Amino acid sequence: MAGRLLRRIGNGTIALAVGAAAVYAHTYVMDQQALDAPLTTHVAAGAVAATGRFSARIDKVVAARTLKLRSTSKSALSGTTTTTETTVGTPDVFVVVTLSATSPGDPEYLQDPRLRTRDDVEYVATDRVGEEFTLSDRPVQQGWWVKLTYVFEVPPAALPGASVVVTVSTTNGIYDSVYPGRYDQLLPEASMTLTPDDAATRRLLDEAEPSLEMEAS
């Protein structure tokens, strides 16, 4: 008798728990911020961040006080080659990051590159260096690793513990502007450690190039 009573109590408790979980699942709705948050893959310096839609790793990081941007053009009429050089300076420091990236399936365009500090402050890639110097607008494709370069202009104090973050392009298209309530849910994001600590930051700044040359392609 006592055993049957205990089983009935136990079964009743389980039923109540299942019922409560069902009610919670039915009533819980993620807010827009939660739905719009990316799925972030964190990796250490030099490791591959595999997100499912793309994989990426940091190959090289260089700091520079100034950038020398060189472009060459050739006249179709005379055949004369002209070289133009522009020097870009900053009161902070330029951080030039070279990534390798690949895709396991369809081609992907990596976008929204950011340098994220350990305090979650984000710096976007500078607009003072055109894509002809970085080739960051190339698609990431299956079968080989594509080189992409991003240039950030940041204060040195932002570098200790910083990461470089990239994601894929949205699939919402024009809906981003005309129907902002239709958000792109759970886009994959790769967060790759740039400078793990103060010592790594000091090495990067001590080895900073006085002037780094970048050639247009």
What's the structural domain count of the chain? 1
Please name which of 119, 110, 122 lies closest in space to residue 188, comparing C-alpha atoms. Answer: 110
Taking the C-alpha atoms of residue 94 and residue 125, their distance in angstroms, rounded to an integer, is 10
pTM: predicted TM-score of the whole model, two decimal places: 0.77
Q: Which residues lie closer than 8 Å to 196 by C-beta, 6 or more apart? A: 44, 45, 161
Taking the C-alpha atoms of residue 114 and residue 152, their distance in angstroms, rounded to an integer, is 8
Question: Do the domain assignments include residue 82?
Answer: no
Question: Do the domain assignments include residue 20?
Answer: no
pLDDT tens-place string over residues 5-50 = 445 545 555 555 555 555 444 554 555 555 556 789 999 989 999 9
Question: Do the domain assignments include residue 28?
Answer: no
Give the domain range for residue 151: 38-62+96-169+186-206
Question: Do the domain assignments include residue 31?
Answer: no
Question: Do the domain assignments include residue 70?
Answer: no
Question: Do the domain assignments include residue 68?
Answer: no
**CATH number, domain containing residue 58:** 2.60.40
Q: E strand or H helix at 185, and its extent?
A: none
Question: Do the domain assignments include residue 190?
Answer: yes
Question: Do the domain assignments include residue 148?
Answer: yes
The pLDDT value given to residue 77: 80
Q: pLDDT band at residue 119, thresholds of 50, 70 and 90?
A: very high
